[in-house]
Amino acid sequence: MHIEIKPLSYTKKLDSRPLEQIELLVIHCTELPDLAMARSYGEEIHYNSGTGNSGHFYIDRDGSIQQWVNPNKVAHHVMGHNKQSIGIELVNSGRYPDWHHSKKQTLDEAYPDTQIDQLIALINHLHRTIPSLKHITGHEDLDQRLIDASDDPTKKVRRKIDPGPLFPWQYITQKTQLINIGSTAKKYE
Ligand SMILES: [Zn+2]
């Protein structure tokens, strides 16, 4: 399989870790229209360390895979679970651009077969190369916080709902050997 290596500009400033520390794979979708916009969000600096938020791997709709952060670095992709995990982001519009609008809380863009098949290949590749990796879950399972809706502060919406109901968990479970632990990944906090 081909992975294009495209490090974010601040990757040297991210914390290093031994690969044996990695136990968990977290599936995300970008909730942005394309990979280029995801890249500009990923490059934004949000922390005093001079780093920002991103996954390690990005898979575009056509199945092409890019690595933005080496797994031997801790990326900021999920609150409370970064140290032990790898983040994989699937390009998908999600709720863009009304992420937190109370009437737009559905993820209706399907994941193309090519994108999912490449995800499975990447998961199996990572499982072979990082033997300590054993669990998988979705961002929505780990971050269940509610925030005020953008259109109506008396309403609450989910901060994160990716990868959402159209993500084929059952198929992933059939084709890989990682155990889907859902929201029980609390133990990593
Ligand atoms: Zn996410």
Q: pLDDT of 128-158, one tens digit each?
A: 999 999 999 999 999 999 999 999 999 999 9
**Residue 105: burial class (beta carbons within 10 Å; 0-12, 13-18, 19+):** middle
Average model confidence (pLDDT) across the chain: 95
In angstroms, what is the span from residue 122 Cα to ligand 1's centroid? 18
Rounded Cα distance, 16 and 141, in Å = 26
pLDDT at res. 104: 95
Rounded Cα distance, 20 and 8, in Å = 23
Average pLDDT over residues 106-112: 96
In angstroms, what is the span from residue 30 Cα to ligand 1's centroid? 7
End-to-end CA distance of the chain: 33
SS3 of the chain: the string is CCEEECCCCCHHHCCECCHHHCCEEEEEECCCCCHHHHHHHHHCCCCCCCCCECCCEEECCCCCEEECCCCCECCECCCCCCCCEEEEEECCCCCCCCCCCCCCCCCCCCCCHHHHHHHHHHHHHHHHHCCCCCEEEEHHHHCCCEEECCCCCCCEEECCCCCCCCCCHHHHHHHCCCEECHHHHHHHC
In angstroms, what is the span from residue 131 Cα to ligand 1's centroid? 24
pLDDT at res. 182: 85
In angstroms, what is the span from residue 27 Cα to ligand 1's centroid? 7
* pLDDT per residue as tens digits for the range 14-58: 999 999 999 999 999 999 999 999 999 999 999 999 999 999 999
In angstroms, what is the span from residue 152 Cα to ligand 1's centroid? 23
Rounded Cα distance, 16 and 19, in Å = 9
Domains annotated for the chain, with CATH where assigned, are 3-184 (3.40.80.10)
pLDDT above 70: residue 188: no
Q: Provide the percentage of residues in the chain whose pLDDT is more than 90.
A: 95
pLDDT above 60: residue 187: no
| Cβ contact 8:54 at 8 Å | yes
pLDDT above 60: residue 78: yes
The residues facing 57 across adjacent strands are: 67, 88
In angstroms, what is the span from residue 138 Cα to ligand 1's centroid? 8
Structure tokens at 58: 């990005």
